[in-house]
Amino acid sequence: MGARPASQRRKPHKSTESFKTAGYHAPPFCIVDAMNPAPPRFPAEWEPQSAILIAWPHADTDWAERLGEVEETYIALVAAITRFQPVLVCVADDDLQTYAEARLRSARVDLSRVRFVPAAYDDTWLRDSGPISLRDGSGFRLLDFRFTGWGGKFEASLDDQLVEHLDQIGTFLNSTRQPIDFALEGGAIETDGDGSLLSTWQCLHERHPAASREDITTKLAGWLHQDRVLWLDHGYLEGDDTDAHIDTLARFAAPDAIVFQACDDPTDSHYAELKAMGDEIAALRTRDGQPYRLFPLPWAKPILDGGRRLAASYANFLIINGAVLMPGYGDEADSRAQAVLADAFPNREIVVVPCRPLIWQNGSLHCITMQLPQGLVA
C-alpha cells in the first residue's frame, strides 16, 4: 500500500478480472436455512474478539528498505494487543517465526498470548486481505472477497489466497469460507453491528467502474447482511492509494456515534474536501431518524517523506477488547486525538501505538490488522 519508489514497487497484478473460484457466483442475498431462520450478522468491531490477525513484515515485503523501523511498530502493536487479548501472527517460514519470537521475547511481550501460523503473503495489509467474519447461527461465515492489490496497483496473488490457506490449515473454528467473486477490501467498509454499513463511493466506484451505485448497494447489503448502506461522496487523504478507504476517514464508535478525521487548517489542501465530508456525516441519520453523535478528530501537521506527503489519519484506530489502539505520529495533535477517542469510547483505555513508520507506505494501524470475533479461533 502506498506510492512506493520504483525500486520497491511490486509487479502489477496481470489480471484483475480472474475469479477466485472459476464459475462461482455468490448470490446478492444468501438463502437462509429453514431450520435456522436467523440470518448471518456482521458484528461491529467493538464486539468481543478472539484475537487480532496480523502478518509479520520481512525482507520480501514492501517494508524491506525500512524493515527495522517497521518491526519496532509491530513489536509495540503486539505488546499493546497482548495486554488485552491474543494475537495471531502470520509468518512466511520457520526462520521468520524464530526471529519474530526472539524480538518479541526481548521486548517482554507475553508470548503465551501470541500464536504463529505459517502463510505466504505478498504484504502485511491484513485489513484488506484477511477474512470478513459474519456470525452465522452458532458458527461463522468467512467472506473471502477478491483482493486485487487495490484495483491492480500491486501484485497480490498470494494475499488473495490468504483466507483460503488459513481456512485449509484449520486456523478457524466452526466456520465456513464463502468465496465471493467481487473485489472488496475490509478497509473499504465499516459496520455498526446493527445493519448499517458506511463506505465511500469513490473506492467502490474505482473497483467497479461499470457498476451502478444501486447495483453495488444491493450486492453489499446482501453479502454483508446490512439493511442500510450509507455512502460518503467526499473525503480523501494525499498519499492514500486505496481510493479513499472509509477506515482512514470515518468510523462508527457506537450505533449512534461516528468518529471522523477533520481538518481545521483552512490553508491545508484537504480542508475543503474534509469539511464537505464532515457536512455529509452531519446530515446522516441513525435508523431511528436521529443525528449521529459526532467526534471530529484533530489534524496532524503535514508529514513529508522525500517531498511526498504521507497519509496520517487518526481515524485508522483499532478497537480491541477493553481498549482502542490509536496510531501516534509524534505530532502535537496525538494527545488531542487521544482525548477525542476517550470521549467516544468512555469505557475503553486509549493506547497510543507509534505508527509513523507505517505511513511511509501510506497505511496505518487499522490497515495492518483484522479482528477475529469471539469464538472464531481457540
> Cell triple for residue 253?
464508535
How many domains is the chain partitioned into structurally?
Answer: 1
pLDDT at 37: 65
Please indicate, yes or no, if residue 18 is contained in any of the structural domains.
Answer: no
Are 177 and 164 in contact by the 8 Å Cβ rule? The answer is yes
Q: What is the pLDDT of residues 20-50, one digit of tens each?
A: 332 223 333 444 445 556 899 999 999 999 9
> Cell triple for residue 74?
509491530
Predicted TM-score (pTM) of this structure? 0.91
> Cell triple for residue 272?
475543503
The mean pLDDT value of the chain amounts to 92
Please indicate, yes or no, if residue 21 is contained in any of the structural domains.
Answer: no
Please indicate, yes or no, if residue 121 is contained in any of the structural domains.
Answer: yes
pLDDT at 25: 33
Please indicate, yes or no, if residue 264 is contained in any of the structural domains.
Answer: yes
Low-confidence ranges of the chain (pLDDT < 50): 2-33
pLDDT at 6: 34
Please indicate, yes or no, if residue 110 is contained in any of the structural domains.
Answer: yes
Paired residues of 352 in beta bridges: 326
pLDDT at 24: 28
Q: CA-to-CA distance for 241 and 203, rounded, in angstroms? A: 10
Please indicate, yes or no, if residue 298 is contained in any of the structural domains.
Answer: yes
Please indicate, yes or no, if residue 1 is contained in any of the structural domains.
Answer: no
Helix, strand or coil for residue 127? helix
Residue 256: other Cβ atoms inside 10 A = 15
Range of the domain at 279: 49-373
Please indicate, yes or no, if residue 296 is contained in any of the structural domains.
Answer: yes
CATH code for position 191: 3.75.10.10
